[in-house]
């Protein structure tokens, strides 16, 4: 019986490299890699060896005959992908780990950030070179979006952190947490103590709607909401108020789906996860009964993944409906007919976002009235936010109905509706922020670079020894696993420069940098303190039958670290 890849796939291709028959696709060398929701196993070629399941860092691979309940659909999804993407499983040219000539000597490399892109970067460097690594993070705990961005009911996805644990504990790696570059230390000071600096700082800001009332209390970016339920230390415990019956989430990507799902999931189910204590308590008191996912375009342009949306449709005790609209109805019917002609289940293969809606109730939606009984998620397409209003805090969102235009864009129709809501979460994407001392591309919201080398935008000239990786490099696209290939490219550029003797020679030694950090940031956190925090959170979790209970403030994290 063949194996199948399921919902929690992280796309880092660990399984690809161990498959003896090359039946897992798309591979990192294929065009579809990084654009598909998951990787797929061809059941016709799979020899049932189980190597992929052993290698998977997030436990996403299972024998098809062991899939149960909602997961049985993934057997079809894997099979149907290869129907739409035929592949002869021919082997490509072999690739080998990079190495440096012995005469280059040991490099000292700083990596700013401790999220997935930073972890993959350090992993590449430690495996392929004799480099000494310095990792720096502004927070007193590691993980980045792996800790503070992945939804708490996706615990298996978070297991990829275990693959980074050996990296963080490598004797050639030093860690300085609770240290911010640009505030505590400058880029120039960091560069003066290392041959190279790699920035893996993500995209910390959110995109704005640009409408009146956006800054009213009760209007939040998804970054704040997600940080709130994940115990991100910079997000206050009282940042979210759940006293209204309706919440509007502007956006239709995976993060929007996460927000909707967490808002309406039975808190007793979340109590077995690592959700923040303050968020769990608020959800137990919550009055929210309806979540509206608002999209200015039609269902064919929905950005959520098939796996995430199929999981949303099966949320216990929650009805998922589509706000009726002639254009939406027509799109769903057309997609369903196309799927029937291919003999595919709606949502399988290359089905569009519209096909995923087949079978859902199409209902009139009066957002000016109180929500009906029960809990439900309303998918409202072709509606653009126009204005937020309320006395002192958000009470309503005015939307304008839109219609598809001739050029594929949507156009306003002039018809407006009011949605009564006490909380509006905008989930329309992340955006990078400028880093002191580095060139920044305002148009893309990324650090200006070429293949990972930071460059001067006007001249294209590389900044010696300065590199970027992850969302700060390519923008907020791609999941956790996409950072692996991204890190390999950046590390490749760094090693090319080292081989060409193009890296600057550090002006000071490792000990000098340690003393500088202690001087500028006496409460900096190292590996010993990080281990103490990890033990404290796991011990608290064990007492409550949870994987861990997160410490939610900088003060709590520092106090736990000092009790080592």
pLDDT at 465: 96
Taking alpha carbons only, the member of 449, 17, 22, 6 closest to residue 201 is 449
- Angle at the Cα of 84 (from 82 to 39), degrees rounded to 5? 45
Residue 553, domain member (yes or no): no
pLDDT over threshold 80, residue 563: no
pLDDT at 493: 96
Taking alpha carbons only, the member of 151, 142, 360 closest to residue 256 is 151
Residues 164 and 188 in one domain: yes
CATH number of the domain encompassing residue 78: 3.30.70.20
* 204 alpha carbon, distance to own chain's centre: 12
Number of Cβ within 10 Å of residue 538's Cβ equals 15
Q: Which residue has the tokens 């029960």?
A: 374
Q: Is 437 left (phi over 0), alpha (psi -120 to 50) or beta?
A: left
* 413 alpha carbon, distance to own chain's centre: 34
Mean pLDDT, residues 2-22: 92
Residue 134, domain member (yes or no): yes
Residues 232 and 326 in one domain: yes
pLDDT over threshold 80, residue 64: yes
Strongest mean pLDDT among 66-80, 96-110, 348-362: 66-80
Residues 258 and 402 in one domain: yes
- Which are the contacts of 208, defined by CB distance < 8 A and separation ≥ 6? 214, 221, 426
Residues 296 and 394 in one domain: yes
Q: Are strands 449-450 and 453-455 parallel, antiparallel or unpaired?
A: antiparallel
Instruction: Give the confidence band of 361 by pLDDT, cuts at 50, 70, 90.
Output: very high
Q: Which helix (H) or strand (E) holds 413?
A: strand 410-420
Residues 332 and 371 in one domain: yes
User: Alpha-carbon distance 62 to 59, whole Å?
Assistant: 8
pLDDT over threshold 80, residue 1: no
pLDDT over threshold 90, residue 171: yes
Mean pLDDT, residues 73-87: 91
Instruction: Give the confidence band of 105 by pLDDT, cuts at 50, 70, 90.
Output: confident
User: Alpha-carbon distance 477 to 471, whole Å?
Assistant: 7
Residues 111 and 243 in one domain: no
pLDDT at 345: 40
Q: Which of 427, 446, 477 delimits the end of a domain?
A: 427
Structural tokens at position 162: 């275990």
Q: Which residue has the tokens 């608020």?
A: 282
In the chain, the percentage of residues whose pLDDT exceeds 70 is 97
Residue 538, domain member (yes or no): no
* pLDDT tens per residue across span 130-143: 999 999 999 999 99
* pLDDT tens per residue across span 256-314: 999 999 999 999 999 999 999 999 999 999 999 999 999 999 998 898 888 889 889 88
- Which are the contacts of 171, defined by CB distance < 8 A and separation ≥ 6? none
Instruction: Give the confidence band of 349 by pLDDT, cuts at 50, 70, 90.
Output: very low
- Which are the contacts of 93, defined by CB distance < 8 A and separation ≥ 6? none
Residue 550, domain member (yes or no): no
pLDDT at 340: 59
Contact assessment for residue 364 and residue 354, using Cβ atoms and an 8 Å cutoff: no
Residue 560, domain member (yes or no): no
- Which are the contacts of 343, defined by CB distance < 8 A and separation ≥ 6? none
Mean pLDDT, residues 318-347: 78
Residue 510, domain member (yes or no): yes
User: Alpha-carbon distance 546 to 275, whole Å?
Assistant: 9
Residue 89, domain member (yes or no): no
pLDDT over threshold 90, residue 509: no
Number of Cβ within 10 Å of residue 344's Cβ equals 20
Mean of pLDDT over the chain: 91
- Paired with 468 in beta bridges are 199
Residues 483 and 506 in one domain: yes
pLDDT top residue among 36 and 130: 130
CATH number of the domain encompassing residue 319: 3.50.50.60
Residues 159 and 236 in one domain: no
pLDDT at 62: 95
pLDDT over threshold 90, residue 404: no
Residues 357 and 493 in one domain: no
Residues 23 and 159 in one domain: no
Contact assessment for residue 500 and residue 115, using Cβ atoms and an 8 Å cutoff: no
Start-to-end Cα distance in the chain: 49
Residues 495 and 382 in one domain: no
* pLDDT tens per residue across span 186-209: 999 999 999 999 999 999 889 999
* 450 alpha carbon, distance to own chain's centre: 23
Mean pLDDT, residues 493-504: 95
Residue 531, domain member (yes or no): no
pLDDT at 79: 93
Lowest mean pLDDT among 48-57, 101-110, 536-545: 101-110
pTM, two decimal places: 0.91
Structural tokens at position 17: 């490299």
Residues 266 and 405 in one domain: yes
User: Alpha-carbon distance 246 to 533, whole Å?
Assistant: 37
pLDDT at 339: 64
Q: Which of 376, 401, 427 delimits the end of a domain?
A: 427
pLDDT at 437: 87
Q: For residue 35, give its domain range.
A: 3-84
Mean pLDDT, residues 82-107: 83
User: Alpha-carbon distance 287 to 290, whole Å?
Assistant: 9
User: Alpha-carbon distance 431 to 472, whole Å?
Assistant: 9
pLDDT at 344: 40
User: Alpha-carbon distance 26 to 16, whole Å?
Assistant: 9
Domain count across the chain? 3
pLDDT top residue among 103 and 314: 314
């Amino acid at each position: 019986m063949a194996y199948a890849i399921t919902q929690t796939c992280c796309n880092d291709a660990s399984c690809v490299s161990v498959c003896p028959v090359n039946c897992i696709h798309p591979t990192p060398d294929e065009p579809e890699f990084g654009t598909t929701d998951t990787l797929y196993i061809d059941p016709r070629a799979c020899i049932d060896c189980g190597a992929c399941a052993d290698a998977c860092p997030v436990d996403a691979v299972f024998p098809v005959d062991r899939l149960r309940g909602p997961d049985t659909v993934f057997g079809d999804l894997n099979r149907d992908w290869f129907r739409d993407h035929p592949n002869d499983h021919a082997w490509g040219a072999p690739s080998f780990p990079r190495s440096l000539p012995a005469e280059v000597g040991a490099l000292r490399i700083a990596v700013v950030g401790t999220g997935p892109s930073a972890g993959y970067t350090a992993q590449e460097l430690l495996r392929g070179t004799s480099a000494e690594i310095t990792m720096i993070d502004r927070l007193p705990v590691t993980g980045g979006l792996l800790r503070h961005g992945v939804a708490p009911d996706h615990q298996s996805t978070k297991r990829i952190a275990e693959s980074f644990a050996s990296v963080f504990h490598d004797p050639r790696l030093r860690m300085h947490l609770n240290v911010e570059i640009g505030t505590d230390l400058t880029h120039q000071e960091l560069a003066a103590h290392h041959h190279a600096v790699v920035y893996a700082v993500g995209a910390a800001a959110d995109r704005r709607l640009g409408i009146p009332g956006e800054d009213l209390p009760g209007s939040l970016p998804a970054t704040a909401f997600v940080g709130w339920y994940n115990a991100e230390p910079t997000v206050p415990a009282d940042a979210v108020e759940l006293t209204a019956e309706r919440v509007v989430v502007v956006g239709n990507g995976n993060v929007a789906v996460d927000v909707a799902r967490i808002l309406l999931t039975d808190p007793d189910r979340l109590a077995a996860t690592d959700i923040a204590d303050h968020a769990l308590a608020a959800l137990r008191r919550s009055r929210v009964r309806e979540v509206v996912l608002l999209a200015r375009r039609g269902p064919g342009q929905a950005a959520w993944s098939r796996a995430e949306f199929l999981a949303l449709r099966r949320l216990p005790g929650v009805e998922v409906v589509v706000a009726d609209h002639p254009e939406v109805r027509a799109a769903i019917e057309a997609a369903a007919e196309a799927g029937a002609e291919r003999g595919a289940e709606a949502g399988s293969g290359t089905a569009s976002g519209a096909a995923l809606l087949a079978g859902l109730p199409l209902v009139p939606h009066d957002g000016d009235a109180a929500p009906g009984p029960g809990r439900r998620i309303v998918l409202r397409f072709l509606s653009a936010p126009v204005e937020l209003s309320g006395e002192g805090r958000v009470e309503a969102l005015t939307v304008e109905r839109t219609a598809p235009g001739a050029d594929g864009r949507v156009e306003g129709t002039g018809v407006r509706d009011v949605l009564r809501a006490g909380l509006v979460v905008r989930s329309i994407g992340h955006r990078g922020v400028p880093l002191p001392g580095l060139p920044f591309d305002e148009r893309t919201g990324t650090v200006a670079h070429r293949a990972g080398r930071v460059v001067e935008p006007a001249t294209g000239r590389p900044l010696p020894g300065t590199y970027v990786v992850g969302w700060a490099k390519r923008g907020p696209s791609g999941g956790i696993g996409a950072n692996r290939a991204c890190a390999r490219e950046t590390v490749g550029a760094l090693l090319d420069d080292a081989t060409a003797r193009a890296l600057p020679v550090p002006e000071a030694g490792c000990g000098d940098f340690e003393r500088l950090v202690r001087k500028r940031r006496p409460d900096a956190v190292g590996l010993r303190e990080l281990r103490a925090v990890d033990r404290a959170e796991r011990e608290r979790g064990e007492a409550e039958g949870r994987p861990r209970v997160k410490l939610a403030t900088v003060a709590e994290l520092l106090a736990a670290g000092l009790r080592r």
